[in-house]
A and B are shown apart, each in its own frame.
Chain A
């Protein structure tokens, strides 16, 4: 009886290890600095996490289909530059495209997302059609995208200056809010809901799980594997474009260093959120929690007055710890 209940308690803890981690961190931070538990701080965390949440959602879809996309961070950076350059006010004297008029706000947003989509389609085709291993194909693409960012921002007359001078609606998009919830958070939540519905409630989502679960069996089952694989990378690129817009709008600037290393955080978020590199497993709530945990660490450490350099050590520990627990959870199944 005693052993049985302790066993089921252990199972319960293992199954919900993420929530427990998050709760423990919040409790520890709140004990040291009680003001952490205010609505303002929490919405702040949500707003700051928003671009990362959007990136993680795209990557989640790719990881479920048993792929990996290393481009998303740099792609978000490129798309931040594209959207920022098109969102500058005509009165700004260091305009990136001096000849162009001032555009309505939707032009920079759509342009960046289309750029992301295009790059995603190219990456997807390389992976799916040419069968280049996803890690290598996307690592190569990552470098190409970074190079493109550097070349683009070095264009005359800009000469690698950080972009600035956005039109007001664009800045408002990055910093404004409705009823205390920022636009960015709302977009991130909307993306999560849509991706969640797509993954769990549509044939497309089921096919993505099927390809990740067993590509050969998916081919036998008459699923158009190429089309869906390319779609996952296209979606991932599209969302990276959106994340780039969000970054540019929130910070009021853009440089090629935007989004650097974000892909690794996004991958880690998905994995500690229960997704598996072997494909076929993963969920939106899990990946979301993964992102939030990382940002609570970020925010919380500075909040309690510790150097933010500690965040890397804590993040690293959490990744190792979470995955180790996960392996134990599945150990007796295999």
Chain B
């Protein structure tokens, strides 16, 4: 066992971007064999600090020590060779490859035959198998990565880090796309890594998780370190207060709305895609927050996208306010007053290189009645566009240097608020929010919750797909739970507990277990 006090240290690190001081004299020390949580709101500088330590950004000032020796890091490979590996927030898997190639990419084992290097597939398979067994991952090393769900890709990333024999693993929001069961697997892996004297830097917004898994917690705010504490000294409230720098007692706004008449009615909806959802019936009332829970693979996103006309439906009916609607494309849905805040913000939400204004008005300016064309009917009224964008950046408290800023340079929470603004501008009656608070900070989360409350009070239907139990239970009037494409139950607010939802979410789980085993051999 190592006698080292610290395995990885960052001393007095500062980093500026044009116009922003992203890190201001930050010091962070990591002990071997511990989980060190790094917390802070989006924009607090956590990711920037990690990227400086990882050689993605060059720091302006400061030094990095590994094993008490100063190291100069120019690129990620340098750090990786020193035993530090990072698992990124955005997944870096290369989909067309198969699983084992993905794990060993860059270090594929070779065998020399007749003077030629051949890929040693058997060794690669065995080594992958070994790591997966160690991590108890149920994945066939020969499966194509593209057939895996997002959550499995995440676990794959971790497997890759383990295969590197890393001494420090940086995990940036590792559970943001995992269900609770999968998160449990991750925690088990983390505890095992700890026993092997591996240090974990754990970046997360989920406080319960941090308190459960970490030994030390460093909290950052506005590019500086607020302090480092032992996890045992902390409570949810203390963490939140130190993160936001103000008192924050409730995680959810008061539940203060009453559902009215049925507005959206979905009956016997079945997907045209095989092995997707079948026979889903539910209704949503005006002024109701309707939660949809389930595990990854429950086909919740597919259901939402089908309702929104993005995926074909084989059979079933939909009525809005008693009138049957045929929705075959997103335009139909939007014209019927629907809005869809997509789960994957980067892939299906933001127009990264376009300005905030463009991002906010994009849907509205394609809608009738037209409000953005002046007398000419051809040219866009730039003042009106900017005025609307301005209104929503103000009411939603979007923090950005200007309306011309490219949306990709904003933090996750602010990007999400821009997307919310985009849909609010269309004055929807049915707002579908797919994982609305994924990857955004506590402050922005609360603002999104408040907004959902306000929309429900205005009499709108709010449909929220979420994998976070507290959020589902804290916000919803009723919760529909799906499992493997089936509706396994709808529970009211009073009856909703984590246990009931979990048991509904795994109703069909046994069947899948059989399939998985078949898939494995």
Contacts and interface: CB of A to CB of B under 8 A. Distances in A.
Interface stretch (B157-165, B170-178, B340-348): B340-348
A214 B379 contact: no
B366 interface: yes
A228 B363 CA distance: 15
Please tell me the size bucket of the interface on B: 35 or more
Contact of B362 (A210, A216, A224, A281): A210
B310 A220 contact: yes
Nearest to B329: A222
Contacts of A209: 351, 354, 358
Interface in B333-358: 333-335, 340, 342, 347-354, 358
A332 interface: yes
A6 to B, nearest CB: 14
B353 A281 contact: yes
Nearest to A280: B353
Contact of B365 (A203, A217, A281): A203
Interface string B375-413: 000111010000000000000000000000000110000
Interface in A1-44: 11
A280 B365 contact: no
Contact of B352 (A206, A213, A220, A222): A213
Contact of B342 (A203, A207, A220): A220
A221 B347 contact: no
Given A206-B362, A207-B366, A332-B17, A217 B380 contact: no
A221 B358 contact: no
A206 B365 contact: yes
B191 interface: no
A219 interface: yes
Contact of A220 (B340, B372, B373): B340
B330 interface: yes
Contacts of A182: none
A221 B380 contact: no
A219 B330 contact: yes
Contacts of A333: 408-409
Given A209-B351, A210-B351, A276-B353, A222 B379 contact: no
Q: Which has the most chain B C-beta neighbours within 10 Å: A197, A214, A218, A280?
A: A214
Contacts of B342: 217, 220
Contacts of B366: 203, 207, 221-223
Nearest to A330: B353
Q: Which of A210, A276, A332 has the largest number of chain B CB atoms within 10 A?
A: A210
Contacts of A216: 347-348
A213 B353 contact: yes
Nearest to A212: B353
Interface string A94-109: 0000000000000000
Contacts of B409: 333
A199 to B, nearest CB: 11
A328 interface: no
A303 to B, nearest CB: 39
A220 B330 contact: yes
Nearest to B361: A206
A228 B310 CA distance: 18
B363 A221 contact: yes
Contacts of B333: 222
A131 interface: no
Given A216-B347, A280-B351, A280-B353, A222 B358 contact: no
A263 B347 CA distance: 31
B71 interface: no
A279 B354 CA distance: 10
A143 to B, nearest CB: 29
A225 to B, nearest CB: 10
Nearest to B345: A217
Nearest to B330: A222
B348 A220 contact: yes
B352 A214 contact: yes
B363 A222 contact: yes
B44 to A, nearest CB: 20
A251 to B, nearest CB: 36
A333 B409 CA distance: 7
A11 B19 CA distance: 13
Interface string A184-213: 000000000000010001110011011001
Given A203-B366, A332-B57, 12 more contacts: A202-B379, A206-B362, A209-B358, A214-B349, A217-B349, A217-B350, A219-B310, A220-B310, A220-B340, A220-B349, A222-B367, A223-B362
Interface of A: 11, 197, 201-203, 206-207, 209-210, 213-214, 216-224, 276, 279-281, 332-333
The 8 closest A-B pairs by CB, nearest first: A213-B351, A222-B331, A280-B353, A222-B334, A216-B348, A222-B330, A201-B379, A221-B363
Interface of B: 17-18, 57, 308, 310, 329-331, 333-335, 340, 342, 347-354, 358, 362-363, 365-367, 372-373, 378-380, 382, 408-409, 422
11 contacts: A201-B378, A203-B380, A209-B354, A213-B351, A213-B353, A217-B342, A217-B350, A219-B330, A223-B366, A224-B331, A333-B408
